[in-house]
């Protein structure tokens, strides 16, 4: 390992550690992280320590904002292999609370994908680890983008991942609560109704100056607030703002907007409300009201967290402990909710479970084991370092879990007919459902024979590599020498004994037509051995030398979805 590489990995861990500890990275913790990631460095401990010391010193000289910027600049760290499952680190401040309470707070505005479930899996895992409570809360206070079918899809995805929640809430049922707090804050002068147009407000805010609405007396503010509720203001004509320090170093935090007018109907509660809280307002109130002790969220919410903290201060509440994780990217996978929804609506995708998507629904349809998804995500852990996951890594996790479970079958894609002459009189072949588990029993592959001529089908791809004179083996059956490329292919029987020649899957009598939906949404058609007709929907099996597939439907023909090799 080059020194540069050690230095750059150490730098990421140092930055991540610093961000978790108020800007000061801890030398020992950084060395531990680095060694866990690269155990091969252990014999070079002394040298590594020197490098890390220098890096930590540099990092600790930066402000948290600079540290965050630097971490972003470094880009994601590739997740390449299974690290030893090492459990999650302890949560901070656990002793201060009688019970750990965590929550997953999805916006029902799109399907969950592999990146989203990080918050869900970690929050759930921590609640269970401490015998605490786990809450599911739908954050649906934007009537314009909440989608009705997402509530159930999200519930289904979570259950599939093995996540059970102790409580469920929907923010669209809690508007009266948010109104009560809004009114209280307005009457006590901690919030105000602002009717400035957005650019003028921004101009003043960026200079750290109050807008004319800010100082209006409380009764006038309350009048405006009632006006908002009563329909006097149209969209974008009035917002409730939370007062903050107007000189807050980050202008985006100054007097942030908390509630606004939205006139589009909400998919759950229709037109019952026209004033809706924005994310930071409802989230802070709910986290407090629901007794949430630890919030686990993406680091893109760091500025939001600062906003929320100002509301906690106004209300005299202690904010929950907040922990951030980095972004997850996945090459070749589209992880944008908006684009996914648009693509599905425009018919570009087959649905939310289109195999081109990295949604949980798509992974389920492709036959991934939920445990594989869980392990990948928990192995990423809880650090603000960005991570790049690849399909290959996900496949590797999944393969380890399903290889022993999936029974084996022969399948030939784009089949090509083969006639073999001179075959002895065998009626059928019996093969184990799984080579390592004889107790699971066998399947039967009947042979189509007329006299001494056997008819079999080979995969088009395999057939294309055969030359006249080549000897190959119909796997677990017999050896054949190719005599003519036909069509049909013709060959001669060359014995039953195992020979060191290419072994090809085949299908003979009773083959069933199967359609395979591939990861790029293309369709591959082929023939499978007869036993495949007896599989059930949802079963995951391995088509030998082709890949793992999940049975998706049985009628009008058998359709399976491809997982991976």
Cβ proximity to ligand GLU: between 139 and 354 the closer is 139
281 neighbors 242 (Cβ within 8 angstroms): yes
Q: How far is the CB of 91 from ligand GLU (least distance, A)?
A: 15
Select from 17, 67, 102, 107 the one that contacts ligand GLU (CB under 6 A). 107
SS3 104: strand
105 binding ligand GLU? (CB under 6 A): yes
β-strand 523-528 against 512-517: which pairing, if any?
A: antiparallel
Select from 155, 301, 485, 494 the one that contacts ligand GLU (CB under 6 A). 301
472 neighbors 482 (Cβ within 8 angstroms): yes
Burial of 126: CB neighbours in 10 Å, binned 0-12, 13-18, 19+: buried
Binding span for ligand GLU by CB under 6 A among 128-136, 195-203, 295-303, 514-522 = 295-303
Binding mask 82-101 for ligand GLU (x = CB under 6 A): --------------------
Query: Which two tokens mark 284?
Result: 């802070």
Binding span for ligand GLU by CB under 6 A among 104-112, 144-152, 191-199, 226-234 = 104-112
Q: Treating both helix axes as pointing N-terminal to C-terminal, what angle do 370-380 and 117-129 enclose, rounded to 10 degrees? A: 80
Select from 6, 17, 77, 106 the one that contacts ligand GLU (CB under 6 A). 106
Cβ proximity to ligand GLU: between 287 and 353 the closer is 287
Cβ proximity to ligand GLU: between 146 and 402 the closer is 146
Cβ proximity to ligand GLU: between 304 and 375 the closer is 304
Q: How far is the CB of 137 from ligand GLU (least distance, A)?
A: 8
**Interatomic CA distance for residues 309 and 298, integer angstroms:** 17
Binding span for ligand GLU by CB under 6 A among 103-111, 126-134, 140-148, 174-182 = 103-111
427 neighbors 446 (Cβ within 8 angstroms): yes
Query: Which two tokens mark 142?
Result: 């934007």
Q: How far is the CB of 294 from ligand GLU (least distance, A)?
A: 11
Q: How far is the CB of 324 from ligand GLU (least distance, A)?
A: 10
Cβ proximity to ligand GLU: between 106 and 370 the closer is 106
Binding span for ligand GLU by CB under 6 A among 37-45, 153-161, 293-301, 421-429 = 293-301
Name the H helices within 107-243: 117-129, 148-160, 175-187, 198-206, 218-230
What does DSSP assign to residue 439? G
Residue 344 CB partners (closer than 8 Å, separation 6+): 351, 352, 354
Q: How far is the CB of 154 from ligand GLU (least distance, A)?
A: 11
154 binding ligand GLU? (CB under 6 A): no
Select from 278, 295, 323, 541 the one that contacts ligand GLU (CB under 6 A). 295
Query: Which two tokens mark 430?
Result: 């019996």
Using H for helix, E for strand and C for coil, what is the string for 269-291? CECCCCEEECHHHHHHHHHHHCC
Task: Sheet with 478-484: list strands edge to edge.
Answer: 448-450, 453-459, 415-421, 489-493, 478-484, 471-474, 503-504
**Distance, C-alpha 460 to centroid of its chain:** 36
Could you list the beta-strand ranges (E) of 317-393. 321-325, 328-330, 387-389
Cβ proximity to ligand GLU: between 104 and 546 the closer is 104
Give the closest residue to 515 by CA, choosing from 415, 416, 446: 415
Q: How far is the CB of 504 from ligand GLU (least distance, A)?
A: 50
**Interatomic CA distance for residues 328 and 72, integer angstroms:** 12
Residue 157 CB partners (closer than 8 Å, separation 6+): 111, 112, 117, 360, 361, 364
Binding span for ligand GLU by CB under 6 A among 105-113, 186-194, 502-510, 539-547 = 105-113
Cβ proximity to ligand GLU: between 140 and 354 the closer is 140
**Interatomic CA distance for residues 50 and 10, integer angstroms:** 11
Residue 75 CB partners (closer than 8 Å, separation 6+): 386, 388
283 binding ligand GLU? (CB under 6 A): yes
Cβ proximity to ligand GLU: between 137 and 564 the closer is 137
Select from 124, 297, 408, 564 the one that contacts ligand GLU (CB under 6 A). 297
Cβ proximity to ligand GLU: between 106 and 326 the closer is 106
Q: How far is the CB of 514 from ligand GLU (least distance, A)?
A: 39
Q: How far is the CB of 247 from ligand GLU (least distance, A)?
A: 26
Cβ proximity to ligand GLU: between 107 and 479 the closer is 107
**Distance, C-alpha 371 to centroid of its chain:** 13
Binding span for ligand GLU by CB under 6 A among 195-203, 294-302, 379-387, 407-415 = 294-302
Q: Which of residues 417-436 bind ligand GLU (CB under 6 A)?
A: none
Query: Which two tokens mark 557?
Result: 């023909």
Query: Which two tokens mark 492?
Result: 């001669």
CB closest to ligand GLU, residue no = 297
Q: How far is the CB of 44 from ligand GLU (least distance, A)?
A: 40
Q: How far is the CB of 286 from ligand GLU (least distance, A)?
A: 9
507 binding ligand GLU? (CB under 6 A): no
Give the binding-site size for ligand GLU (rule: CB under 6 A): 8
Q: Which of residues 120-139 bind ligand GLU (CB under 6 A)?
A: 139
Residues that bind ligand GLU (CB under 6 A): 105-107, 139, 283, 295, 297, 301
């Amino acid at each position: 390992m080059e020194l540069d590489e050690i230095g750059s990995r150490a730098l990421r861990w140092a930055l991540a550690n610093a961000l978790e500890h108020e800007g000061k990275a801890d030398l020992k913790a950084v060395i531990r992280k680095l060694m866990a990631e690269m155990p091969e460095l252990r014999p070079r401990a002394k040298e590594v320590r020197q490098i890390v010391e220098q890096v930590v010193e540099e990092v600790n000289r930066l402000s948290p904002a600079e540290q965050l910027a630097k971490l972003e600049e470094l880009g994601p760290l590739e997740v390449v292999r299974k690290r030893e499952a090492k459990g999650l680190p302890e949560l901070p401040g656990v002793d201060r609370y009688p019970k750990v309470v965590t929550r997953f707070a999805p916006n029902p505005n799109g399907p969950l994908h592999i990146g989203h479930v990080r918050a869900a899996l970690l929050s759930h895992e921590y609640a269970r680890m401490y015998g605490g409570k786990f809450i599911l809360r739908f954050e649906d206070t934007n009537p314009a983008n909440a989608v009705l079918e997402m509530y159930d899809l999200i519930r289904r995805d979570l259950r599939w991942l093995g996540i059970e929640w102790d409580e469920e809430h929907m923010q669209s049922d809690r508007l009266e609560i948010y109104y009560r707090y809004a009114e209280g804050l307005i009457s006590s002068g901690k919030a105000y109704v602002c009717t400035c147009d957005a650019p003028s407000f921004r101009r003043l805010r960026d200079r750290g100056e109050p807008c004319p609405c800010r100082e209006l007396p409380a009764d006038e503010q309350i009048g405006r607030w009632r006006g908002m509720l009563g329909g006097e203001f149209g969209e974008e004509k009035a917002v409730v703002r939370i007062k903050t320090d107007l000189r807050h170093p980050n202008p985006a935090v100054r007097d942030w907007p908390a509630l606004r007018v939205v006139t589009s109907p909400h998919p759950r509660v229709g037109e019952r409300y026209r004033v809706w809280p924005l994310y930071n307002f409802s989230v802070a109130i709910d986290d407090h009201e629901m007794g949430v002790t630890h919030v686990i969220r993406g680091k893109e919410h760091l500025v939001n967290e600062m906003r929320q903290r100002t509301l906690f201060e106004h209300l005299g509440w202690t904010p929950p402990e907040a922990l951030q994780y980095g972004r997850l990217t996945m090459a070749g996978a589209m992880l944008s909710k908006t684009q996914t929804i648009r693509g599905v609506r425009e018919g570009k995708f087959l649905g939310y479970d289109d195999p081109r998507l990295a949604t949980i629904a798509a992974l389920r349809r492709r036959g991934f084991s939920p445990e594989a998804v869980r392990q990948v995500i928990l192995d990423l852990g809880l650090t603000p370092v960005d991570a790049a996951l690849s399909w290959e890594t996900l496949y590797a996790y999944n393969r380890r879990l399903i290889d022993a479970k999936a029974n084996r079958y022969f399948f030939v894609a784009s089949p090509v007919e083969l006639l073999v002459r001179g075959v002895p009189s065998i009626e059928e072949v019996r093969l184990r459902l799984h080579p390592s588990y004889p107790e699971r029993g066998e399947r039967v592959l009947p042979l189509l024979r007329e006299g001494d001529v056997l008819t079999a089908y080979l995969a088009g791809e395999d057939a294309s590599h055969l030359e006249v004179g080549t000897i190959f083996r119909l796997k677990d059956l017999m050896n054949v020498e190719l005599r003519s490329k036909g069509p049909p292919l013709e060959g001669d029987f060359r014995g039953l004994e195992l020979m060191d020649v290419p072994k090809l899957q085949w299908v003979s009598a009773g083959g069933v037509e199967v359609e395979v939906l591939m990861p790029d949404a293309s369709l591959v058609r082929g023939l499978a051995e007869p036993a495949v007709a007896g599989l059930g929907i949802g079963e995951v099996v391995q088509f030998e030398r082709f890949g793992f597939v999940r049975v998706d439907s049985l009628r009008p023909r058998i359709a399976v979805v491809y997982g991976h090799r």
